[in-house]
């Protein structure tokens, strides 16, 4: 049986606080729902019980979307969690096209831990698309998600199947 740790609970608290003001683009729901879905996909679909990976799943957007940096994450949760989250962090100074290209390049050589979180992330994202998107936006987005999924698929056949279903 798997136990809940204080560390995981602290990560959940940090995620809730760091993203408290954020809403999902798809339905304007609180952003924490996305982070909980990523955690749920990792544990219940991917059967990932490595606490560092589950915590990184909860915190995968925290550097990108809050004042918390890699150093603080390292201090709070260790260097492995911080490096997984850091590997999943977009450079917001780049254009969307550049960020997507960067993600694909980085994922090629990323460890399984990073690919697991990314697969869970895109599975959650694929099932909650903003209502106002044009056909072109949808096609463009899913083309990119499919490339990400293809790079990450070997990390978890179960999460890859879940992505295909959500798509």
Catalytic positions, written as ranges: 64-65
Kindly give, in sequence order, each residue whose CB lies less than 8 Å from that of residue 10, ignoring residues fewer than 6 positions away. Answer: 76, 77
Helix, strand and coil in the chain, % to nearest 5: 70, 0, 30
- Tokens encoding 77: 């949760």
- Tokens encoding 86: 């850091």
Residue 162's Cβ-count burial label (10 Å; 0-12, 13-18, 19+) is: buried
C-beta separation of 75 from 56 below 8 A: no
Measured distance CA(138)–CA(81) in Å, rounded: 32
């Amino acid at each position: 049986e798997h136990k809940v740790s204080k560390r995981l609970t602290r990560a959940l608290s940090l995620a809730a606080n760091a993203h408290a003001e954020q809403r999902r683009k798809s339905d304007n729901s609180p952003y924490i729902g996305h982070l909980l879905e990523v955690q749920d996909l990792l544990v219940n679909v991917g059967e990932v019980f490595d606490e560092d990976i589950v915590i990184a799943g909860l915190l995968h957007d925290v550097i990108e979307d809050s004042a918390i940096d890699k150093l603080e994450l390292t201090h709070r949760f260790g260097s492995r969690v911080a490096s997984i989250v850091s590997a999943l962090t977009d450079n917001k100074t780049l254009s969307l096209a550049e960020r997507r290209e960067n993600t694909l390049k980085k994922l090629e050589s990323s460890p399984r831990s990073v690919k697991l979180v990314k697969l869970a992330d895109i599975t959650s994202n694929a099932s909650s698309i903003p209502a106002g998107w044009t056909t072109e936006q949808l096609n463009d987005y899913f083309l990119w998600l499919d490339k990400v999924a293809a790079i990450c698929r070997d990390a978890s056949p179960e999460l890859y199947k879940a992505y295909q279903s959500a798509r």
